Structure 1
Amino acid sequence: MTAPHSDTPPEHNHVIVIGGGHVGLSFALLLAHQGIYSTLLETVKYPTIAPDQDRERQSYLDSRNTALSRRSVQIYHEIGLWDELDSHACRIDKVLISELGSFGRATLDKQAENVESFGFVMENAWLGRVLLQAVKASPYIRLHDNTQVTTISQDDDMAHVTTISQDDDTGNGNIQLSAPLVVACDGQHSPARHMLGIGADSHDYGQVGIVGVVETDTPHKHVAIEKFSPAGPLAVLPLPDSADGKYRRSVVFICPKGDEHAYLHDDAHFLATLQQVFGTDAGQFVQAGRRGTYPLTKVLAHRQVVGRCVLMGNAAHTLHPVAGQGFNLCLRDAYALAKLLGENLQNAKSGKFGMTTPDFGNQARLLGYEQSRQTDQKRVIKFCDTIVGSFTSTNPVMKVARNVGLITFDKIPFIKPMVATYAMGLKS
């Protein structure tokens, strides 16, 4: 990627991205890979990270993690980031699936499915660090952190965003930015979604997710363990060993809302509960790190495109974390839109279809993007809802049925490859 740095991107070759979380950072980098300039706006002030800082894990029990599908790994590889990300990732070779206290059990094994792996578990802190450093180094991206978006408007030719810097010493005040397209990746509660007048359906699962890292006395052997309980799905995922060789696992523990405090502040109770739930499948749980919590809510925007503005990431769809599908779905959305805009730019450069300048905010093209993503999005949403609904039911008939289903899934040959392909994000 070579391009002169410019404080003023070309008017027509420009996208404003609102929200600098992992989805927003990734989308800006995907645009840059297509030769498209962007201005990235983030409310939070990013920490200052030197290029050689924190290359080693400073606290091996203090991190949140994301399960990246095979397709997500391919996307990061395509834009030249995977080699650096890989140093803090751990592949998943096998998945053990069962229900707490029941007979049903199933296994997904990479050798049986003839795949390199089912994906990787990535430390969020490292993912964010690599993405942020790449954004700061890109000549195609202007980054404004500690900056709040106050208004969004649009006309026939441009979308307009008014911002205010939170830095006391800048003296910039309100600044209006304009571009042919605005993409909002500003989270589940998306202020941009409200500014655009887009409604959303919300469902509170009445559950809280507890996430963190634990140490076990045996190596993980690249095995992920999924255990379903009446409270919700529970998971222990493999992580790279610590610098001194200790065995680390990422934990996703879901409990009814209100019960989370007992697991947050009492390490012994948390470890004993994990041991009771997972038995000896993961060995002995010997140490727990700091845990974080988040209430589980499904949020689905009524629309993802309005005029020259697009919703992306959790602003468009926030899902239950079961099976770790949410971020991977968002990344596939980002890839699809960046690819579409890149084709538009190339057509304009070559004069194809009589184009001389790209129009990234073309209504028909954006609506086409929205429609093209419906199959993948609806499939993932239905998959997550089905699992959550089936395994949280206490009906004895349902319990027998889902355990028979696990055994059937484990024994019938053609089902596993289909489910594995969907889970890896390779069919969208």
Structure 2
Amino acid sequence: MEIAILINEFPPNIRSGIGRYAETGIKYINQVDNTSMSVFTTNTGYLPQHQDVNGILVYRPMNFIQKILMRYREKIESSLLSRLLLFINAFINNFQFYRFIKKRHHNKAFDVIVLHSLIYSITGFLCARRLGIPVVFHKHREEFARMPDWWRRDPFKLIELSESAMEKLAAKIIVLTEEMYAENLRYGICPEKLMIISNGCEVDLFKQVDLNCSSTKQKMTELKKELNIADDRKVILYVGSLTEGKGVFNLIRAVKILINNGHKVKLVLVGSGRNAKVRALINNYGLQKDIYAYYKIIDINSLIYHYAIADVCIFPSITKEPFGTTVTEAMSFGKLVILGYGYSKLFAEYENKPCAFYVDGNQPGKIGAKIAYVLDNKDRFQEVAQNGQRYIQNCFKWETAAKKTVVAYNEAISSNENLMASNL
């Protein structure tokens, strides 16, 4: 099976959860028998346009807009001009992708198009309508619900229209949870199109880390020293995009409340996004010694030790989060986890026992109170952490998710062949 993947992040260009999916999920799918992959993705300006990455062919085209973005990105970060240029770049990329796929399709190169990013929906539409290649739509989230002010960010409803068009066009739609499945049924999507396949977690990677090993303890000590974390401070870890919808700004405000109330804590932020705004907020509150922010995604081998030193991991999302790669990682490591109400109840319990704590990400006071409550009762709540660890290790293996995904792709190909035969 020849698979064409359309996705806006692919290593080393990782900025969010979809990039983490590309880093792990695509690798496991490619390992399933009789599959071969080509990835079509964004070029940051410094990456090869054609590359073989462990047997996966990666195509990252360049254009003049991308060169402008590469040169002036820092000066126009988060501006209207930046968003406009990104939109134009994506528009051009769509036709670059389609031209490449069309050229190869003369030899029947691709059996299925897999769409992970709606910005490439034009390519998906053209491949389905003009080339007759079935499309599988991976819904990593409900796009219109990403931000509280989505209507301001998408005033012409381009995202909503693209999502609706792909839902009608796709031969199969993969959703992550039962909640997403029910929500899509309410939208009027045909149930035969929908398949529930949760993402996985590299559980073996976390199992290999022995916290009682002397070398691991030394690395943890060195990391705490590097981050200037005193021995008497509790470590709060957040991994993800630094945006309003993720609850990061309210988390910073919650840390200010905790510090004012005498709690000895240090927040570590791993990720990027609204970097300038996060930095300004930290400075305004005088939290330079109480918060360490990387303002970038870090390598998984380094991230492991950040999970190791954490006393609690928190993901206080305000907007809907049907899944969370970093949540599964924290749980797999046996860490206490606090989630915003935006998160799916997928992580709430396992075998009728709690796996995580939930909090209103809109309320800094409640976030602070929940963190203090969990940290003050850390030993008592170890059962919750251990149950979460069992849940992830038993139910979220990438090998299983990859096999189910390939089944969905095969079903899409079969349904497309049946449709074409009926039209003859």
TM-score under structure 2 length normalisation:
0.29
Higher strand share: 1
TM-score under structure 1 length normalisation:
0.28
Higher helix share: 2
Higher RCO, Cα 8 Å, sep 6+: 1
